[in-house]
Structure 1
Amino acid sequence: MKKQILGVLVIVMISSCVSPKVYKDLESKYNTLKDQNRELSSENDALLKAKSQALNDLNALQKEYDETLAQRDKLQRDYNATKSSLDNLKASYDALEKNSSASIAENAQKNRELLAQLEAKEQALAAENARLERLKKELEDRSNRVAELENVLSAKDAQMKRLKDAISSALTDFEGKGLTVEQRGGKVYVSMENKLLFESGSWAVGSNGREAVNQLGNVLADNPEIAILIEGHTDNVPYKGSGQLSGNWDLSTKRATAIVNILRENSSINPENLTAAGRGEYAPIASNDTAEGRAKNRRIEVILTPKLDEITKLLDDM
C-alpha cells in the first residue's frame, strides 16, 4: 500500500511538470481536427440538403410544365371552336350576300370581329407554345442535372461499398478479434478495439495490430480519392500511466498518430489524405459501466470518406 501511494505521488509530481505549451499545442491540434470533422459532417449534410432542394425544384417545374400544357390545350380548343364559327359565318355570308346588303354588312362586321378574335387567339397560342417549349427545355436540363447528380451519388456509394468489401476481404483473418467494418452515411468505418492494437496505457502498436493496419493500408493505397480520418477513443477510466501523458485525451491522440505513422510507411498513400484525431472518452459506443462496454469504447476508428468535388460542382451548376 505504501508503495502504491508513493507511486501515485510521483505520477502527480511528474504530471504537474508537463509544459503548458505542450498541452496548448495538443489542445489546438485537437480543436483543429474537431473543426475539420465538423466541416466534413456539415458538408455532407449540405450536399444531401442541396440534392433534396434540387428534387423539389424539379417537381415544381414539372407541375408548372403540366399546367402550361393544359392551358395550351384549352387555347387550342378555343381556337378550333372560333375557327369553326368563322367558317359557319362565312357560309352564311355567302348565302345572304344575294339577299340583303344590310345582312352582308352585319356579317362583314361579325367576320371582322371574329377574325380579330381569331388573330388574338393565334397570338396567345403562339406565346403559350413558346413558353411551353422554354419550360420543356428547362425541365429537361434540370432533369438531366438531377439524374447526373444521382448517378454520381450512386457511383460514390458503389465505390464505398467496393472499398468496404475489399477491406473486409483483406482483414478476414482479424474477424472476431475486435475488428469490424461497416458502411453508413456514405462513409466506411473500420473499428479496431485496443486489444488488437495496444497494450494497456501504451500507444505502441503490437505485431498483430501492425499487420492489420498494413493490410488496411494496402487497400487504401489503391483508393487515392479517399480521405482517411483516424480517431483514437478511450473509456472513462482515468489514465494512470507514466508522466509522458496528460490523460486519456492525450493517449487517444498518440494512438491515432501511431496508426497514421504506420500508414505513412506505405509510399502509395498520399499523406495529404491522412488526419489523426484524439476523441478521448467523449464519443463512447457502449456503456462504461461494464468491462465489456469499456473494452468496446477503447478503440481506433478509421473513417473513410469519398472526395465530393464533383458533386459540389454539379450543385453549383444547378
Structure 2
Amino acid sequence: MRAIKTIPIILLAVGMISGCVSNKKFTELQSDYSKLKDRNQELSNKYQDSQRELTGSTSRVTSLEDQIKSEKANSAGLQAALDKCLTSTNQGSVNVSKLVDEINSSNKYIKQLVNAKNKSDSLNLVLTNNLTRSLSREEMQGVDVQVLKGVVYISLSDNMLYKSGSYEVSDMADETLNKIAKIINDYKDYDVLIEGNTDNVPISQKNIRNNWDLSTLRASSVVQALQNKYGVDPKRLTAGGRGEYNPVADNSTPDGKSKNRRTQIIITPKLDQFMELIGKAPDEAQKP
C-alpha cells in the first residue's frame, strides 16, 4: 500500500497554529484537518480495493505462461515418443495412433493458452491507447505509459521535473506536465496519485530530514502545479512519497540510481470505469 506522509505534518501545523489563532479559526482548522484525513483514508481504501480486484489478472497471465511452457515440453516429449514408434516394428501401430491423438490434443490446448495470453497483452495495449488518446504522436515522445494490474502508471525521471537537488518544479517541466494534464483531464472521474521515489543516497539539505520528506515534497509540488497551472481538480489528486523503498533498479550503479529517482503519476479507475475502458477500441482516426 502506498504510504502517504502528509497527515502528520498537517497535525503538527494545526498544533502550532492553535496557540496563536481564535477558537473559531482553530475549530475551522480542525474541521479542515478532519476532512483531509477522511479524504486520505477514502482514497487509500479505493486504491486497496482496486489492487485487490485487479491483481488476479496478472496472476492469471503468469499462470498461463507457465502452462504454455509445460505443455510445449509435454508436446515435445510426445513427438519424440511418436518418432521412436514410427521407426520400430509394426507392433507399435496402436501406440502410434494414441500418441497422435495426445499430440493433437496438447497442441490445441497450447493454442488456447497462447490466445488467452495474447488477449491479455492486447487489453493492456487498448487501455494505453485509450488513456493517451488526447496526445499526438509527437507529444507521446518522452512519456512512458504502462498498464500493470489494471492501473495506469506514467513514470517521469527527476531531471524532467525538478531543479537539481530540489523539490521545486522547474520551468522545463511545463511541456511534460502539460501532456500529463491532458491525459488526466481527459478522464475527469478517475483518481490520480502522484508518487515520489528517490535513490538510497541520504539527503543533506536544510528543512528536508530524509528521502521520505524529499519524495513527498516532490509529489506535492507536482500536484500543486497540475492544480494551479493546468486546471486539474484538486479533489482528484493525492500526493504521496515512498522514499528509497520502492526501487526499480540496483542502487549500486549510477544508472540504477537515476532510474530510481522518479515520479509516478498513477491513474486509478474504479472497477466500473475500468470495464468501460476495456470495451472501447482506440480510435486511430483521431491520431494525427
Percent sequence identity over aligned pairs: 33
Structure 2: runs of 5 or more not aligned: 1-7, 14-32, 58-121, 276-288
**CA deviation after TM superposition for structure 1 residue 257, in Å:** 0.5
* Residues 34, 189 of structure 1: alpha-carbon distance in 2 compared, 3 angstrom cutoff: farther
Instruction: Find the partner of 1:260 among 217, 220, 223.
Output: 223
Instruction: Find the partner of 1:190 among 154, 159, 183.
Output: 154
Q: Partner of 1:240 in structure 2?
A: 204
What SS class does the counterpart of residue 200 from structure 1 fall into? coil
After TM superposition, the structure 1 = structure 2 runs for residues 36-115 of structure 1, keeping only pairs within 5 Å, are 36-37=43-44, 39-46=46-53
After TM superposition, the structure 1 = structure 2 runs for residues 145-184 of structure 1, keeping only pairs within 5 Å, are 158=126, 161-167=129-135, 169=137, 171-173=139-141, 175=142, 179-184=143-148
Structure exhibiting the larger radius of gyration computed from Cα positions:
1
* Residues 42, 294 of structure 1: alpha-carbon distance in 2 compared, 3 angstrom cutoff: same
Separation in 2, partners of 1:220, 1:281 = 26
Instruction: Count residues in correspondence.
Output: 183
What SS class does the counterpart of residue 280 from structure 1 fall into? coil
Separation in 2, partners of 1:236, 1:158 = 36
Structure 1: runs of 5 or more not aligned: 1-20, 51-153, 313-318
1:98-121 CA deviation, whole Å, 9 max, x = no partner?
xxxxxxxxxxxxxxxxxxxxxxxx
Aligned-residue Cα RMSD (Å) equals 3.7
* Residues 218, 46 of structure 1: alpha-carbon distance in 2 compared, 3 angstrom cutoff: closer
Task: Report the more deviating stretch, 230-239 or 193-202.
Answer: 193-202
* Residues 311, 282 of structure 1: alpha-carbon distance in 2 compared, 3 angstrom cutoff: closer
Does the aligned pair in 1 maintain the 2:127–2:147 contact within 8 Å? no
Q: Partner of 1:211 in structure 2?
A: 175
* Residues 283, 240 of structure 1: alpha-carbon distance in 2 compared, 3 angstrom cutoff: same
* Residues 155, 307 of structure 1: alpha-carbon distance in 2 compared, 3 angstrom cutoff: farther
**CA deviation after TM superposition for structure 1 residue 203, in Å:** 0.8
Does the aligned pair in 2 maintain the 1:228–1:302 contact within 8 Å? yes
* Residues 156, 182 of structure 1: alpha-carbon distance in 2 compared, 3 angstrom cutoff: closer
1:180-215 CA deviation, whole Å, 9 max, x = no partner?
222222122111101111133201111221221122
* Residues 213, 238 of structure 1: alpha-carbon distance in 2 compared, 3 angstrom cutoff: same
**CA deviation after TM superposition for structure 1 residue 40, in Å:** 1.5
Matched, 1:251 2:219: no
Separation in 2, partners of 1:33, 1:165 = 30
Instruction: Find the partner of 1:226 among 164, 183, 190.
Output: 190
* Residues 222, 268 of structure 1: alpha-carbon distance in 2 compared, 3 angstrom cutoff: farther
Bigger RCO (CA 8 Å, 6+ sep): 2
Task: Report the more deviating stretch, 208-217 or 34-43.
Answer: 34-43
Separation in 1, partners of 2:265, 2:187 = 14
Does the aligned pair in 1 maintain the 2:128–2:145 contact within 8 Å? no
The alignment's TM-score, normalised by the length of structure 2, stands at 0.53
Q: Partner of 2:235 in structure 1?
A: 272
Does the aligned pair in 2 maintain the 1:221–1:266 contact within 8 Å? no
**CA deviation after TM superposition for structure 1 residue 238, in Å:** 0.3
